[in-house]
Amino acid sequence: MLKFRDYIRVESKAEYEKAIASIEGPVLLLAGGSDLLVQARQDDRYEDHTVVDIFGIEELRTIEDTEGHLVIGACVTHEAIAQSLLVNRYAPILAEAALSVGSVQIRNHSSIGGNLANASPAADTLAPLAVLNAEVVILKDGIESVVPLAEIFEGPYKTNLGDRDLIVSVRVPKLSADVRHDYTKVGRRKALSISRMTIATLLQTDENGVVTRFDMTMGATFPCPMTFPDISAMLVGKRPTKEDISEVARALSAKIPEIAGIRASTRYKQPVCRRLSVRILQELIGDEQHA
């Protein structure tokens, strides 16, 4: 049985701002509900909260193509992201990650804003958004500001958003067509799996096979989405050899105990990370790999 104090549905940002200004007591934003309604069933923690249903806000359901960025509204669903021509063209790693979320029913009823705000370390969009250098647009106290993705997270399932702070959109720098990508998800089961580990990789080389951009990180592994400039620097400016690739794989897997501490899963995750990283990089570098 779901228990809330009240329920309000809003259809524009203006209605949203008016609604939150008039509500006394704590507010609970509801988008697709795929996380929230599961959590709310577990106990009475939201009994005194007024639910503000934002899923119908039209301004939050669009994907805009601006000069340097795709601006993806917070209530755009994972299915819409997976099917979007713009996202497939300019941020294909995000389209792939969105397609890996749950089932088609879940994808149709879950939003990118909810994926961020829920802050599960296993959330599929976070590692791709980290390597894409995404930013988040937040509406707080009537003012919109743009913050780097990593800045909204405080830990697993914890952001620094207040209950009335609205994620408006995610700004994703557009990739050029020659940036290769890979999104690998290791789950418990093939279908409907919540990730045990994901690896998001972007790699770009020039006409001589020299790496000009390299970003690789993991999801479902660290408390918050992270990027590793030291790992990027291991390949940028090089024509990677097998040894370079092995060193990257070793360095990336070393981040697991370094950042997340030694856990029961470390023994499993470290060798999986090493093996997968080598495979991913060999495939992305392909024939340009040097002896």
Of 31, 82, 129, 132, which lies in the binding site for ligand FAD, with binding defined by CB under 6 A?
A: 31
Instruction: Give the residue, chosen from 72, 82, 95, 115, that forms a contact with ligand FAD under the rule CB under 6 A.
Output: 115
CB closer to ligand FAD out of 115 and 270: 115
Task: State yes or no: residue 186 binds ligand FAD (CB under 6 A).
Answer: no
Residue with Cβ nearer ligand FAD (152 or 245): 152
Nearer to ligand FAD, 37 or 233 (CB): 37
Residues 225 to 254: which contact ligand FAD by CB under 6 A?
none
Interface pick for ligand FAD out of 8, 19, 20, 36 (rule CB under 6 A) = 36
Give the Cα separation of 36 and 51 in Å (integer). Answer: 11
For residue 166, give the nearest of 124, 111, 238, 117 by alpha carbon: 117
> Which lies closer to ligand FAD via its Cβ, residue 74 or residue 248?
74
Sign of CA dihedral 86, 117, 35, 123: positive
C-beta separation of 47 from 22 below 8 A = no
Q: How far apart are CA 225 and CA 119, in angstroms?
A: 9
Binding mask 93-112 for ligand FAD (x = CB under 6 A): --------xx---x---xx-
Dihedral sign from CA coordinates of 44, 49, 54, 60: negative
Q: Which of 19, 40, 74, 172 is in the footprint of ligand FAD by CB under 6 A?
A: 74
Complex with ligand FAD: residue 53 or 244, whichever CB lies closer:
53
The residue among 186, 181, 197 whose CA lies nearest residue 92 is 181
Q: Which of 20, 33, 235, 284 binds ligand FAD (CB under 6 A)?
A: 33
Ordered DSSP codes for 154-181: EETTEES--TT-EEEEEEEEPPPTT-EE
Rounded to whole angstroms, the Cα distance separating 272 from 255 reads 13
Residue 168: CB atoms within 10 Å: 23
Dump the DSSP string for 89-153.
HH-HHHHHHHHTSS-HHHHHT-BHHHHHHH--TT-TTHHHHHHTT-EEEEEETTEEEEEEGGGGE
Which residue of 95, 117, 170, 211 would you call a contact of ligand FAD, by CB under 6 A? 117
Among 16, 32, 202, 248, binds ligand FAD (CB under 6 A): 32
> Of the two residues 106 and 260, which places its CB atom closer to ligand FAD in the complex?
106
Contact between 28 and ligand FAD by CB under 6 A: the answer reads yes
Stretch that binds ligand FAD, among 117-125, 140-148, 221-229, 275-283 (CB under 6 A): 117-125
Q: Which of residues 193-232 bind ligand FAD (CB under 6 A)?
A: 194
Structure tokens at 126: 């976070």
Binding-site ranges for ligand FAD (CB under 6 A): 28-36, 38, 54, 74, 101-102, 106, 110-111, 113-115, 117-118, 123-124, 161, 166-167, 192, 194
